[in-house]
Amino acid sequence: MAREKRNDDSRRFLDPAVLSRLVRLDLRARQAVEGYLIGLHASPFFGHSVEFVQHREYSPGDDIRHLDWKVWSKSDRFYIKQFEAETNLRSTLLVDCSASMSYGNPAWNKREYASTAAACLAHLLVGQHDSVGMMAHDSDMRLVVPAQSSSRHLEVLLSALEMARPGNTSNILGLLRRAAETIPQRGLVVLFSDLLVDRSALFQGLRMLRQRRHDVLVFHVLDAEEIDFDFRGTTRFEGMEQPDHLLCDPQALRDAYHEVVSEYLLEVRRGCTKIGADYLLVRTDDSLAVVLNKYLSFRGDPRAARARSGQEKG
């Protein structure tokens, strides 16, 4: 009973209502992660080793430090010796900073939620000595923080997240292409976005990441009102990223809206699944435990790993 009570007490820090009262992001992240970890048993995911994978023929530009001189001595040819990650996991957090992310309660809108969730992950990753990088984007790339694993790097990440303010429309394809091109090694790419973008561009970008053997984890952040659409009275809806507006009775449109949203979510979910990206829909009123749980499940599930590897081969 005492154990359960303790768990309940710790999980209250994951409550968005509680976290929304914390102004500083680092506090939020620490509260969330520590609260989460306190509730867990000993982690089974600590410690990773680097292993040789294959040779490949040298091509100009390759680092000559990786030349396998033994092979050269035997065959008089230059081969590069390739290993699995030499370091701990390299993770990159992609945070959507488009205008649509500012929808919702100003103290706890989608951007706040996404930033907090990203901070939580960063805190968790840095605590495991994994390197964490971050990119914030809207129509263009706004912030790029290279991946590092030092504890001081966490402060840089958190500062960067706080600096990232909602801007223009979202250019998801540009972001994902940039991420695919700039992340030098395979790693984990975590996308925090409301995905109110062109789906074909989204799937194309995710496919590019997957082709570079990145593990992709998509946190689809939506506000509760965007799903429930619980409005009353004549309302003029004005687009945040588009110049469109619509004057209507929202109750009359509610059913049709639900249908459209359902179809949209299904399309996104299916698209991500098909590509091999992990997908999770989170609402801004969801506990951050959902996000952390998802991440940890993702890291420790061998089936998921096989599924990912299988899709990579395919």
Partner 1 sequence: MEILFSLFLHPVAAVIGGLLATLPIIIHLIRRTQYKKQPWAAMEFLLAAQKRMRKRMVLEEWILLALRILVILLVAFLLSRWLGGGAAGVGGEHFVILDDSISMADARNDRGTRKTAFDSAMEEGIRLARKLGATRGIHHLHFFLLSSMNEPVLEGRAGEDLARQAELKLARLKPSYYSLDPTKGIAAAVDKWAASPDALVSSHKILHLITDCRDADFGGQRQEESRRLMTRLVGSGASLRIVDVSDPERPNGSAIPIGHDNLSITGLSCESRIVVEGAATEFVATIKNFGSSPRRTFFHARRDGVEDFSATQPVDEIPPGQEVKVRFTLVLGRNNLGPKISSGDDPMKRDRERLLHRSWVRLTGEIDDQTTTGLAEDNVRDLVVEVVHKVPVLVVDGAGRSGMMPGGDSFHIDAALSALRDFDPEIRTVEELSKTRLELYPIVFMLNVGELPPGEVDRLLNHVSEGASLSWFVGDRTRPAFVNGLFQDKNGLFPVLLAPKPADPISPQEKLDARLLDEQPKILFPDPTHPVVAGVYPNRLDFRFLPVDRHWPAQARFLWDKGNGLVKDIILLANKRWKDDRQRAAFRDKALALVATFPLSNPAEAMFRTGLDSAIRDIREALLSQSQFQLARALEKTLEDGGELADQKTNRPARPGLRQLWSKPPFVATAQAMGELLREVQFGDPLWVERALGRGKVFASMTMAGTKTTLGAVGAEAEGWNEWGSGSPMSWSYAALMKELVRHLLKSGGGDIGSETKSTDLVGNTFELVRDASFLSGGVHERFDPQSPTKVPGFVPESQRIGINFADAPVGGKIRIRVAPSPTPGVLYLKMSPAVVPGQPIPGPEDGELEAFAFNLDANHEGDLRRVRRDLLEIPPPGPGTGRVVLSRPGDGHDSMLEPPRDTSESWWIYLVVFGVLIGEQAMAVFCSHHQRTIKGEGLVKKSPTKGTRVIPLEPVTLGGLP
Distance in angstroms (rounded) separating the CA atoms of residues 42 and 38: 9
Distance in angstroms (rounded) separating the CA atoms of residues 7 and 3: 6
217-256: which residues touch partner 1 (CB under 8 A)? Answer: 217, 223, 226-228, 230-231, 233-242, 244-249, 251-256
Neighbours of 66 (CB within 10 A): 13
Nearer to partner 1 by Cβ, of 102 and 159: the residue is 102
272 binds partner 1, rule: CB under 8 A:
yes
**Tokens standing for 18?**
């509680």
Distance in angstroms (rounded) separating the CA atoms of residues 281 and 193: 10
Neighbours of 191 (CB within 10 A): 31
Instruction: Say which residues have a Cβ less than 8 Å from residue 120's Cβ, sequence separation at least 6.
Output: 28, 29, 32, 33, 36, 288, 291, 292
Binding mask 60-99 for partner 1 (x = CB under 8 A): ---------------------------------------x
Q: Which stretch binds partner 1 (CB under 8 A): 57-65, 141-149, 203-211, 265-273?
A: 265-273
Q: Kindly state the smallest distance separating residue 279's Cβ from partner 1, in Å.
A: 6
171-210: which residues touch partner 1 (CB under 8 A)? Answer: 194, 196
Task: Provide the strand spans (E) within 3-140.
Answer: 52-57, 79-83, 90-96, 131-137
Nearer to partner 1 by Cβ, of 13 and 279: the residue is 279
Please give the C-alpha separations between residue 83 and each of 52, 58, 61, 87, in angstroms, as whole numbers. Answer: 4, 15, 18, 11
Nearer to partner 1 by Cβ, of 181 and 301: the residue is 301
Q: Kindly state the smallest distance separating residue 211's Cβ from partner 1, in Å.
A: 17
277 binds partner 1, rule: CB under 8 A:
yes
Footprint on this chain of partner 1 (rule: CB under 8 A): 99-101, 103, 110, 194, 196, 217, 223, 226-228, 230-231, 233-242, 244-249, 251-262, 264-266, 269-270, 272-273, 276-281, 283, 286-287, 290, 294, 297-298, 301, 303-304, 307-308
